[in-house]
Copies of this chain bind each other. A is one copy, B any other.
Amino acid sequence: MMKIMDLDTPCVVIDRHIVDANLRRAQAYADRHGIRLRPHVKTHKLALFARRQIELGAVGITCQKLGEAEAMAEAGISDIFIPYNLLGAQKLERLAGLHRRLSVSVSADSAITVTGYADAFDDPGHPLPVLVECDTGACRCGVQTPAEADVLARLIDSMPGLRFAGLMTYPPRGRMGEVDQWLLAARERIEKSGIAVEIVSNGGTPDLYAAASVTAATEHRPGTYIYSDRMQVEFGVGTISDCASTVLATVVSMPTATRAVLDAGSKALAADRCAAPGHGYIVGYPQAVVTSLSEEHAVVDLSGCTGRPRIGDKVRIVPNHVCVVTNLFDLVHLADGEDVIAQLPVRARGQLR
């Protein structure tokens, strides 16, 4: 059996026990609070883990792009929500392909998006479920007011080939009370219009364990919770020991007594920042700071460390933002303790369309 430290670097190593603990903890929370879990696969992009999430009780999965959904559909996943405005003939044709084969739902935040769906889907016997995206404070996509949500819900409801399926939001962090008020108000308005609001879908890992405080929500779409990362730890979600995915790197240079250089740069760790200093947490060297990344080098300041690695040593790095790291590697290694038990091709990697 190959050991982690025998792997060539840089590579991604995923601890199966941490993954399983993270998945079970979230599912138990959701079950306890009567929330349906619909995990976002953007973080792992692996059919194996999507299936495991469903096995543990998830009602289906979330994909951010059609390409992810197609990869997951091919791997046998049968219930997929794409919380995205899908526009243009190419995407709508692919969406129709998925809709013929499995349960797929989408979102919209404008009449233009809804009209596009309505032009492509016109079978009242098999309507496309569409949720209205609500901007509850994150200032990304979404209608701006409950009144606008109601207008869009009625538009969807009026289209024979579409079915209004509910509301969705990507919420602002730490403001679940506001999110709840927004969604409750929107739901009330739409119900007053005589339209049922079946699903209210909330998301995000930072407030996953406050999901129950959004009383309007029927489901939650956490993504990062499966692996966690340094950013989530900074947000107060678990600790570094809950981080399942690490980048294994080699010390390739020690130009000075306090500077080490690793063979993992921005093409392996990505340049995303978080509140903690530097570009990742080096396991075993908590005081080390990854001060800069080139494309294929990480420069590490060891001046605060007691122990120091030597040239040729391998170290594991917890990335700042794990979801973008997943998208950089064509395959990842699954480990049980120090044993590498599988190589998994990241099928949905790079599925940006």
Contacts and interface: CB of A to CB of B under 8 A. Distances in A.
| Chain A residues touching B, majority SS | loop
A74 to B, nearest CB: 17
Nearest to A66: B8
A255 interface: yes
Nearest to A323: B295
B267 A327 contact: yes
B297 A259 contact: no
Contacts of A327: 267, 295, 328
A294 interface: yes
Given A112-B311, A270-B270, A327-B328, A141 B297 contact: yes
**Total copies of this chain within the assembly:** 2
A107 to B, nearest CB: 10
A132 interface: no
Interface stretch (A18-26, A49-57, A209-217, A246-254): A246-254
A181 interface: no
A175 interface: no
Contacts of A292: 140
Interface stretch (A86-94, A182-190, A234-242, A282-290): A86-94
Of all A-B residue pairs in the complex, the 9 with the closest CB atoms, nearest first, are A141-B253, A85-B252, A8-B90, A112-B311, A271-B272, A64-B296, A271-B271, A267-B327, A330-B350
Given A42-B295, A87-B250, A271-B324, 8 more contacts: A64-B295, A140-B299, A141-B252, A266-B324, A267-B352, A271-B321, A327-B328, A328-B352
Interface of A: 8-11, 42, 64-65, 84-85, 87-88, 90-91, 109-110, 112-113, 116, 133, 135, 139-144, 170, 250, 252-256, 259, 261, 263-264, 266-268, 270-273, 292, 294-297, 299, 310-312, 321, 323-324, 327-330, 350, 352-353
